[in-house]
Structure 1
Amino acid sequence: MTDVLTRPTAPSAGRDRRVRPLRRLGRSLLYDALLMPVGVQVMADAMLGEEETAARRWRRLGARGVQSMSSARTFGYGLLSAVLGLTSWFVMLLLVLAVVRGPFWGLVEHGPVQPGTWGGPTRAGAWVAHGLIAVPCIVVFLFALRGIAALQMRLVQGTNRWVLPATIVVAAGSLAFFWSWLQQL
């Protein structure tokens, strides 16, 4: 009789398939978190005429196949990357708020539940309502962060012609959103 616990087993292919998307998501989140500082450093490199240093920064961040560009192009890509980095930070803030105020609503909200509260008048109903609303938002925020990282990576790699106009539209939309959000504060 063979002992199942002592027999060496090969890692299952199914488990590897589940881990890969989580690793990609983790890399995208790290890439997004570093976009702002790296974008500012790349703009400084462009102003100092250090295009090769800027290309090395992109490659170190994770963008493969990045070639040295002109100073103007390097500065523009750094500016777009800084704006996308700010957008990523804002989406990450929304993600954290959605997690804390959604599924964990009952742990952070200790006051009485008013009749106008989502899911009220009971605490359990309000907790369920906040959780059910927040979970799809969390998924959307994660997809948005993954998309921002993929768009910026394609921008600096120069793979497709549509990437630059799409990045400009996303950056302009992000700036317009930030401006309107700041005006309502």
Structure 2
Amino acid sequence: MAQTLTKPVADVCKHGIQWRSVVYDALLLPVGVLTLADAIGDERETAARRWRRLGEYRVGSGSVVQPMTNAQVFGYGLLSAVLGLVSLFLLFLTVLAVVRGPFWGFVEHGPVQPGTWGGPSRAGAWIAHGLIAVPCIVMFLFVLRGIAALQALLVQGTHKWVLPATIMLAAGALAFFWAWLQQV
């Protein structure tokens, strides 16, 4: 993973800001956990370098990271780990929506029951699953982009509203994640 964080952005992500955001979100959990360890070990400069490298995935060039205390590094690491967990969950839901949406007919081989969305015909069920999943996929990708943008603003420390917004997003996302786990 350390090798991934040191590669130039052009080598890792050539497909625009949306895919940079997905890479950024996928790396949030491990970087957040490493930042927690940096805060415990009093390695603020190491955390700042890691944030700078991670910021390159988001914006495509070196980002500015404000000097932080150990408490701030720990708090930002904790928030980043939570947002990373939520981002991985959203990536999972995106993959699930792709597999069970537009490609529903390739993964579902059993008989189509009358209560199936779009049933009782197989074609109707396939169309219904695809029409429901495609907007969900687009929404999940935009939410992932928003999480990446908010977390990047948090680390840059340029706006005062970002910290409360990030805390509220993390709390709401954890509540959503917990509710989803309870229904499984």
AA paired with 1:34?
L
In structure 2, the residue corresponding to 1:62 is in which secondary structure?
Answer: helix
Contact persistence 1:29–1:146 (CA under 8 A): yes
Listed as ranges, the gaps of 5+ residues in structure 1 are 1-20
Q: Distance between the aligned counterparts of 2:72 and 2:78, measured in 1? A: 10
Identity %, equivalent residues: 73
Contact persistence 1:54–1:68 (CA under 8 A): no
> Match for residue 23 of structure 2?
30
AA paired with 2:53?
R
Question: Is residue 117 of structure 1 aligned with residue 116 of structure 2?
Answer: yes
Q: Distance between the aligned counterparts of 1:38 and 1:116, measured in 2? A: 44
Indicate the RMSD between aligned Cα atoms, in angstroms. Answer: 1.5
TM-score (norm 1): 0.87
Question: Is residue 102 of structure 1 aligned with residue 95 of structure 2?
Answer: no
Q: Distance between the aligned counterparts of 2:147 and 2:115, measured in 1? A: 36
TM-aligned CA deviation for residue 22 of structure 1: 4.5
AA paired with 1:27?
R
Q: Distance between the aligned counterparts of 1:28 and 1:122, measured in 2? A: 39
Structure 1 ranges of 4+ moved more than 6 A: none
Matched positions, count: 166
In structure 1, the residue corresponding to 2:115 is in which secondary structure?
Answer: coil
> Match for residue 42 of structure 2?
49
TM-score (norm 2): 0.87
Question: Is residue 135 of structure 1 aligned with residue 134 of structure 2?
Answer: yes
**1:53-99 alpha-carbon deviations (Å, 9 max, x no partner):** 10000001125101331000000000000000000000000000000
> Match for residue 81 of structure 1?
80
